[in-house]
Amino acid sequence: MRKNKIVKQQTEFSILALDDDEIMTVTLQAYFQSSGYTVDIENDPYRAIERVREHPYDILLLDFLMKPICGDKVVEKIREFNPDIFIILLTGHKSMAPPIQTIRELDIQGYYEKSDRFDQLELLIESCVKSIRQMRIIRRYQEGLRKIVDNIPEIYHIQSVDEVVSVILSQTAEFLSVSDLYLCMNTMAGEVLYQGMGSYAARREEGIECLAGVVKKGETTLVIQNNVVFFPLVDEHHRIFGIIRADVRDTMKSDKLQLFELYVKQVCAAVSNVLLHTLLNEKNEELKTAYTALRDNYLEIVSVMRSMVDAKDIYTRGHSDRVAYYATLLAKALGKNEEYIRRLHVAGLFHDIGKIGTADEILFKSTKLTPEEYAEIKRHSSRGKKILSAVTLFNDVAPIVEAHHERYDGGGYPNGLKGTEIPEEARIIAIADAFDAMTSSRRYRANMSFEQAVDELKRGSGTQFDAEMVACFLEVLRDFDRIRKELDWTYSDSKFDETVGNVTK
Ligand SMILES: [Fe+2]
């Protein structure tokens, strides 16, 4: 009865029996083959070493006293290239066994005193078999974990759901050594995604039905039925969102399934990740569309408000366009980015928006202003800030508009800011504003020549204006003929070019 049991259990283990006594090896072979082991025999120690090198035996039974070399020497040579094989040393008598130190050093699992009966040797071999079996499980775990560690980064790097599922299927097929499998899951967009391999390549309906059944049951652990394994895909909220089905030919070892469960957990995280990413991309697209619509409205508002300012005074018509344009040129020369230039351009267009609230009789007065009237005029920058602050879209422009009459030396208004306390964009607008005011005709005076205006800028450098910016602007103005030509056809009916902040017709 015992032997029948063993026959079923041990066929997977192989033994090499080495003894220079042929009768002994033949006897060992006969005995242990009948117990179900695969047993090869060898009588020459050197040939035995080569056979172990060429064949992955699990257990080596060898005699200690042999010619031309003893068993311990044979083991010494084998251990040089094979640390894993289990070795049992056969001795004629206890007193003939090598010292315990040698047995330890050569990693010999046990020794057996030869006798007519092999019961004790059989027990010794069974003990080795248990250890070998455990070693194999550990190796499979190690190998499985290595595969998981190697494969997971790949699925975390893929950004398309279809691709990630395809890679998961290939990895699963390799990991479980199966060819018929599918993955079916609900995406965050409310669709069902199905991919199959082998006989499941085109069984989508079946997959969807099965997924619905698993979701209904709510069983989040793997299920095995008739050589079919179902792995539910579970999200971080413990909700089943998909399923992997694999048809396994033979009964799958539990350690392999445990490892695969570990892999599936990583798969769930990776798939959730990629689904979320896809959803975010879709939402981003929607946001982009909404943003574009919002920006179009915004540009419309800019246009309307600017025309309101310009409409008040024919003499200043086009001034805000030109200020925006000069400011943009200076900002580009200063190496500012697109967003900065956009903001500055809008600030240029709006810098005098506060004049909407200034009484026409003060604004258009051609005689000298009284101190009260001048104070009222000066309120336009603060009023401009107030008007723009009411619209969220203009929040970043409002402080620039407020500060466009501040002076670098602190003598400006409304807050007497000094140097770099003044927003950089406002320092740019101040230069552009002054230059255009000097080179344009006003109802109360004719315009200055270009050279006179340049001299004025130089005179105000470091006091009224930021000196570095003036120097940069003077460089920009070297190309004034071209700039002027461009403005001639530009400012009469201009609009904001949303991409680069240019003024174009
Ligand atoms: Fe102003």
Residue 320 CA to ligand 1 center (angstroms) comes to 10
Residue 500 has phi, psi (to 5 degrees) of -120, 0
pLDDT of amino acid 1: 38
Residue 391 CA to ligand 1 center (angstroms) comes to 20
Q: Which residue has the higher pLDDT, 44 or 65?
A: 44
Structure confidence at residue 446 as a pLDDT band (50, 70, 90): low
Using CA of residue 322, residue 468, residue 400, residue 344, what is the dihedral sign?
positive
In this predicted structure, the answer to whether residue 399 has a pLDDT above a threshold of 70 is yes
| Antiparallel, parallel or unpaired: β 14-18 and 38-42 | parallel
Tell me what the mean pLDDT of segment 429-457 comes to: 84
Q: Residue 372 is encoded by which pair of tokens?
A: 């009260």
Residue 348 CA to ligand 1 center (angstroms) comes to 10
Q: Average pLDDT of the chain?
A: 83
Amino acid in the structure at residue 40 = D
Residue 404 CA to ligand 1 center (angstroms) comes to 7
Q: What is the largest CA-CA distance in the chain?
A: 136
Q: 112 with 125: CB under 8 angstroms?
A: no
Residue 384 CA to ligand 1 center (angstroms) comes to 9
Please provide the CATH number assigned to the domain covering 2-135.
3.40.50.2300
Burial of 386 (0-12, 13-18, 19+ CB in 10 A): middle
Residue 377 CA to ligand 1 center (angstroms) comes to 9
Residue 338 CA to ligand 1 center (angstroms) comes to 24
Amino acid in the structure at residue 55 = H
Residue 414 CA to ligand 1 center (angstroms) comes to 11
Q: 40 with 30: CB under 8 angstroms?
A: no
Structure confidence at residue 370 as a pLDDT band (50, 70, 90): very high
Of 7-16, 57-66, 88-97, 170-179, which gets the smallest average pLDDT? Answer: 7-16
Angle of helix 254-312 relative to helix 319-333, nearest 10 degrees, comes to 140
pLDDT per position as a tens digit, 140-177: 777 777 777 777 777 777 667 888 888 888 888 888 88
Residue 297 CA to ligand 1 center (angstroms) comes to 26
Structure confidence at residue 66 as a pLDDT band (50, 70, 90): confident
In this predicted structure, the answer to whether residue 63 has a pLDDT above a threshold of 50 is yes
Share of the chain above pLDDT 70, in %: 87
Q: Which residue has the higher pLDDT, 199 or 317?
A: 199
Structure confidence at residue 225 as a pLDDT band (50, 70, 90): confident
In this predicted structure, the answer to whether residue 466 has a pLDDT above a threshold of 90 is yes
- Kindly list the domain boundaries of the chain, sorted by start residue: 2-135, 160-280, 313-504
The DSSP code for 465 is B
Using CA of residue 167, residue 173, residue 176, residue 177, what is the dihedral sign?
negative
Under DSSP, is residue 345 helix (H, G, I), strand (E, B) or coil? helix
Fold that domain 313-504 belongs to in CATH: Hypothetical protein af1432 (1.10.3210)
Cis? peptide before 99, omega within 30° of 0: no
Tell me what the mean pLDDT of segment 129-136 comes to: 88
Tell me what the mean pLDDT of segment 415-444 comes to: 90
At CB < 8 A and 24+ separation, what contacts does 370-376 make? none
Structure confidence at residue 334 as a pLDDT band (50, 70, 90): very high
Residue 504 CA to ligand 1 center (angstroms) comes to 23
In this predicted structure, the answer to whether residue 430 has a pLDDT above a threshold of 70 is yes
Tell me what the mean pLDDT of segment 337-355 comes to: 91
Structure confidence at residue 4 as a pLDDT band (50, 70, 90): very low
- Residue recorded with tokens 């759901």: 161
Other beta carbons within 10 Å of 294: 12
Cα 113–Cα 115–Cα 118 angle in degrees, nearest 5? 95
In this predicted structure, the answer to whether residue 178 has a pLDDT above a threshold of 60 is yes
Cα(56)–Cα(12) distance, rounded to whole angstroms?
12
Cα(273)–Cα(278) distance, rounded to whole angstroms?
9
| Antiparallel, parallel or unpaired: β 503-504 and 240-247 | unpaired
* Close Cβ partners of 211 (under 8 Å, ≥ 6 residues apart): 184, 185, 186, 192, 242, 243
Under DSSP, is residue 246 helix (H, G, I), strand (E, B) or coil? strand
Residue 59 has phi, psi (to 5 degrees) of -135, 140
Residue 352 CA to ligand 1 center (angstroms) comes to 5
Per-residue buried b or exposed e for 17-37, using 16+ beta carbons within 10 Å of the residue's own CB: bbbbeeebbebbbebbeebbb
C-alpha distances in Å from residue 89, one per residue of 59, 71, 103, 111: 11, 7, 9, 4
Per-residue buried b or exposed e for 255-278, using 16+ beta carbons within 10 Å of the residue's own CB: ebbebbeebbebbbebbbebbebb
Residue 355 CA to ligand 1 center (angstroms) comes to 8
Tell me what the mean pLDDT of segment 380-404 comes to: 88
Residue 434 CA to ligand 1 center (angstroms) comes to 9
Using CA of residue 7, residue 11, residue 17, residue 21, what is the dihedral sign?
positive
At CB < 8 A and 24+ separation, what contacts does 206-214 make? 207/182, 207/243, 207/245, 208/184, 210/184, 210/243, 210/245, 211/184, 211/185, 211/186, 211/242, 211/243, 214/240, 214/243
Tell me what the mean pLDDT of segment 399-404 comes to: 97
In this predicted structure, the answer to whether residue 339 has a pLDDT above a threshold of 90 is yes
Q: Which residue has the higher pLDDT, 253 or 453?
A: 453
- Residue recorded with tokens 């071999």: 125
Residue 440 CA to ligand 1 center (angstroms) comes to 14
pLDDT of amino acid 304: 73
* Close Cβ partners of 227 (under 8 Å, ≥ 6 residues apart): 247, 248, 249, 250, 251
Residue 350 CA to ligand 1 center (angstroms) comes to 9
pLDDT of amino acid 7: 46
Residue 405 CA to ligand 1 center (angstroms) comes to 6
SS (H, E, C) 200-245: HCCCHHHHHHHHHHHHHHCCCCCEEECCEEEEEEECCCCCEEEEEE
Cα(106)–Cα(344) distance, rounded to whole angstroms?
83
Residue 154 CA to ligand 1 center (angstroms) comes to 60
Share of the chain above pLDDT 90, in %: 35
- Go through the chain and tell me how many residues it has: 505
Residue 359 CA to ligand 1 center (angstroms) comes to 15
User: Any idea which architecture 160-280 has in CATH?
Assistant: 2-Layer Sandwich (3.30)
Cα(492)–Cα(322) distance, rounded to whole angstroms?
10
Residue 380 CA to ligand 1 center (angstroms) comes to 7
| Antiparallel, parallel or unpaired: β 503-504 and 228-234 | unpaired
Q: 57 with 33: CB under 8 angstroms?
A: no
Q: Which residue has the higher pLDDT, 446 or 239?
A: 239
Q: 48 with 63: CB under 8 angstroms?
A: no
In this predicted structure, the answer to whether residue 80 has a pLDDT above a threshold of 50 is yes
Query: What is the DSSP annotation of 406-431?
Result: --TTS--SSS---GGGS-HHHHHHHH
